[in-house]
């Protein structure tokens, strides 16, 4: 995978460099260096990108998490299902 392919993939999925790094489990510095052609894109990155769908793990405060749980409960849904509906409706 070439740098421009990685960058195109990231933009197509509407991910920031930080979000892509989070999903890949690497540093933001690594993503930046791959996209700027300072380092080659590792084979494992290309393999993961072509075989998996990104799932971003947002960082929530305890208060934000509790509010999300309360909103899901209000709709009679498990938190995961409620969040899934929010995301689906946003796309």
DSSP string, the chain: --HHHHHHHHHHTT--HHHHHHHHTS-HHHHHHHHTTSSPPPHHHHHHHHH----------HHHHHHHHHHHHHTT--HHHHHHHHHHHH-
**Better pLDDT: 54 or 16:** 16
* pLDDT recorded at residue 63: 81
pTM, two decimals, is 0.58
pLDDT bracket for residue 67 (50, 70, 90):
confident
pLDDT at res. 80: 83
Query: What mean pLDDT do residues 47-63 have?
Result: 71
Residue 59 has pLDDT above 90, yes or no: no
Residue pair 87/53 in contact by the 8 Å Cβ criterion: no
* pLDDT over 70 (residue 61): yes
User: What is the Cα–Cα distance from 56 to 74, expressed in whole angstroms?
Assistant: 25
Closest CA to 26 of 45, 6, 50: 45
pLDDT of amino acid 56? 57
């Amino acid at each position: 995978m070439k740098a421009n392919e990685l960058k195109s993939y990231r933009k197509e999925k509407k991910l920031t460099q930080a979000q892509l790094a989070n999903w890949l489990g690497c540093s933001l510095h690594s993503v930046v260096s791959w996209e700027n052609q300072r380092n080659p894109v590792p084979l494992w990155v290309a393999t993961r990108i072509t075989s998996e769908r990104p799932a971003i793990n947002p960082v929530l405060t305890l208060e934000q998490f509790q509010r999300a749980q309360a909103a899901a409960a209000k709709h009679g849904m498990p938190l995961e299902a409620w969040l899934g509906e929010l995301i689906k409706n946003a796309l």
